[in-house]
Chain A
Amino acid sequence: MGCCAGKSKAEAEEDNRRKIVVVGDGGVGKTCLIRRYINGEFDEFTPQAYIPSSLETHTREMTVGNKKFVAIICDTGGQETFRHLRKTSYPNSDAVIVCFSLDNEESLKNIHNLWIPEMQKLCPRVPMILVGNKLDLREEAYKPDGFIKESKGLQAVKKHKMVTYLETSSLNDTNVDKVFETAMAEAAKRKKQNKKSFDDV
């Protein structure tokens, strides 16, 4: 095998990889968000709960400052109800995107009671970004009463010391790029896990 070829290149590439994991209740729009960002599309006319892709892990090149990075974006869709299986997606994460849906009170409740405590425990000190999905529904609603207000999201961010709160619409492509750019900017600040743990030993 050509193990010796391109050593330094491979090494440089490794250091530029950052893992971003996306969590939240089932049906809040995690997969749509990622799909919109990676493929730039939204499947309006295929009403599929399940979006076909065997690889739940995606990559995309990103630039932070002048430096190139590779974002490894890990989707946890489908694993929501299987607590002990979904944990396997978490190790070595550099940033976490925690999602809820603006039309779903329960999904915000679970942010406080389930997702944030779980991420704080299993990904300690990893920066978290809170995302309220399905903004288009709130904006187009005749009466926005039934929807979650922006202030609620901001409160949650403050309470749990998260990086920021963003409201998105995968349908209209609102703020989608910003979510991943913010996550990557935070992730980029982190040194690679390997080196860090090596220092700890």
Chain B
Amino acid sequence: MMEDELALWLAAEDGEDEMVMSQNGGLGSTPTAFMGKHQARANVVNEIIGAEREYVKHLCDVVEGYVKQAKKRPEMFPMEKVTVIFSNIEEIYEFARELLFQLELCVNKEQPHLSELGDCFLTHARGFEMYSDYCNNHPAACEELRELYRIKKYKHFFEACRLLQEMIEIPLEGFLLTPVQKICKYHLQLAELFKFTPTDHPDHPKVKAALEAMKKIATLINERKRKMESIEKLAAWQMLVDDWEGSDILEESSELIYSGELHKINHAGWSQERYFFLFDHQLIYCKKDLLKKSTFGYKGRIGMDSCQVVNIPDGRDSQYNVSVRNAWKLHDSHKDKWYLLVAKTAVAKQRWLKAFEEERNRVKDDTENNFNIPAHVKQAVITNLKQKTNLNKPKGKTRFSRTNSSSTLSSKNQVAAFATLPRKSRHKVKSDSTISQKINWFFLGKGKL
């Protein structure tokens, strides 16, 4: 982040006590003067440590009070259930404990305002990425808990855990939200610390770097969560396309960028009405099913990585020997193949051209920022979705009820995915049971498109 950008951002993030600030004519006046700048920084340092201590205590309560108790009851909580509910909270607990330990070492007991905390966050920066898995899993944990809370036995169990650990009266899902809330707070804490760190303070550059790093981490986690929701939608979308050919959509793509109807001119000069879906890395075209509304038949795909968009003027095109308006070409240099596409209006054409630019930018962005979802996670999404679709398919009159999903979860995971594919299974689906068990929350997620 550039210096002035940072200043702007700090101003925008100038949080909850803004009223005090604006009342007193901004930063550094009355309230700060009131207690002295050293004292103000010392307060922030103490608050950061205090909040961290409270957070670790809280994680400890969850791990000791709930996770350990649940693990003692494998008949109620088989391993996969524990994983769905608690995700990697134990790992986060260990990490938070270590962070607190290091932070406490950084505190200058005699003169707390001289404490240098920045470096501690910087050295731990990569570790915070583990919150990503936790945040991505959180909706599944909630869904699982919702199912379990309907069963008296579980409801009492959780309540007993809470009472024994002497925790405040919040249901478990509330406690499980804490790491998500916490990862969003660090940048506020550090912004506050930065505000009270004068330029000549030895910690100044590191606090600034730490602030940027923690903001970046939260952005990364937020972005990965968005991606996760998006790939679920994509996987669900693919299930709606008949006669699918080639690799699964998720193998290359994770996001729908734009879609709409276009005319595709074939080499004989015939115009075909096709529905185009632009994802990152590929453009897929389908034929609309005339009988079944909102279903598509797969027709083909164009790889965007090796493609060039060529804008062409209205009029006669010599290559195709046809007259076109609002058209452009795509040239796949890899296959040396040309495509001629025609939009209905000039506005629609402009929108598409913009979408192609967006696609390239998105791909660049994702690679640079490490936003991509690992292949095995994507694979698990596909596998689980296929199983889910199959289970949800009405057979006779009985519909798959969500109520008993928890009890049948484990057996579902053992069903080979390809054996239950609703449509043709040209590409083999790996039924990696460990992965699907780990991420079996996709059963429970609502994969709406």
Q: Using a CB–CB distance below 8 Å, which chain A residues touch chain B? A: 1-7, 10-11, 13-14, 17, 19, 26-27, 29-32, 43-57, 59, 70, 72, 74-75, 77-79, 82-86, 88-89, 91-92, 101, 103, 134, 136-137, 171, 193-194, 197-198, 201
Q: Is the CB of B51 within 8 A of A52?
A: yes
User: Main secondary structure on chain B at its contact with chain A?
Assistant: helix
- A84 to chain B: which residues have CB within 8 Å? 222-223, 225-226, 229
B111 at the interface (CB under 8 A from A): no
Beyond A54-B182, A79-B184, 19 additional contacts (C-beta under 8 Å) are A6-B163, A10-B156, A13-B169, A29-B16, A45-B35, A47-B32, A49-B17, A50-B44, A51-B16, A52-B50, A52-B51, A54-B51, A54-B55, A56-B185, A74-B174, A82-B184, A82-B222, A91-B139, A136-B19
- A198 to chain B: which residues have CB within 8 Å? 150
**Of residues A14, A75, A101, which shows the largest number of chain B Cβ atoms within 10 Å of its Cβ?**
A14
Q: Is the CB of A77 within 8 A of B171?
A: no
Least distance between B164 CB and chain A CB atoms (Å): 7
**Of residues B19, B138, B149, B183, which shows the largest number of chain A Cβ atoms within 10 Å of its Cβ?**
B19
Q: Is the CB of A27 within 8 A of B13?
A: yes
- B17 to chain A: which residues have CB within 8 Å? 32, 43, 46-49, 51
- A88 to chain B: which residues have CB within 8 Å? 135, 138-139, 142, 177, 180
Within 8 A of A (CB), among B145-167: 146, 149-150, 153, 155-157, 159-161, 163-164
Q: Is the CB of A103 within 8 A of B22?
A: yes
A64 and B123 CA atoms in complex are apart in Å by 50
With known contacts A43-B17, A50-B185, A55–B150 Cβ distance under 8 A: no
- B159 to chain A: which residues have CB within 8 Å? 10, 13-14
Binary per-residue interface labels of chain B (29-56) against chain A in the complex, 1 for a CB within 8 Å, 0 otherwise: 0011011000010011001101110110
- Interface residues on chain B, number (Cβ under 8 Å): 76
With known contacts A11-B155, A45-B35, A53-B54, A1–B164 Cβ distance under 8 A: yes
A171 and B177 CA atoms in complex are apart in Å by 29
Q: Which residue of B lies closest to A31 (CB)?
A: B16
With known contacts A1-B164, A47-B20, A54–B183 Cβ distance under 8 A: no
Number of A-B residue pairs, CB cutoff 8 Å, is 195
A59 and B188 CA atoms in complex are apart in Å by 23
Q: Is the CB of B19 within 8 A of A49?
A: no
Q: Is the CB of B192 within 8 A of A57?
A: no
Q: Is the CB of B19 within 8 A of A171?
A: yes
A2 and B55 CA atoms in complex are apart in Å by 27
**Of residues A5, A77, A88, which shows the largest number of chain B Cβ atoms within 10 Å of its Cβ?**
A88
Q: Which residue of B lies closest to A44 (CB)?
A: B20
B181 at the interface (CB under 8 A from A): yes
B12 at the interface (CB under 8 A from A): yes
A26 and B191 CA atoms in complex are apart in Å by 13
B231 at the interface (CB under 8 A from A): no
B218 at the interface (CB under 8 A from A): yes
With known contacts A14-B155, A47-B21, A85–B221 Cβ distance under 8 A: yes
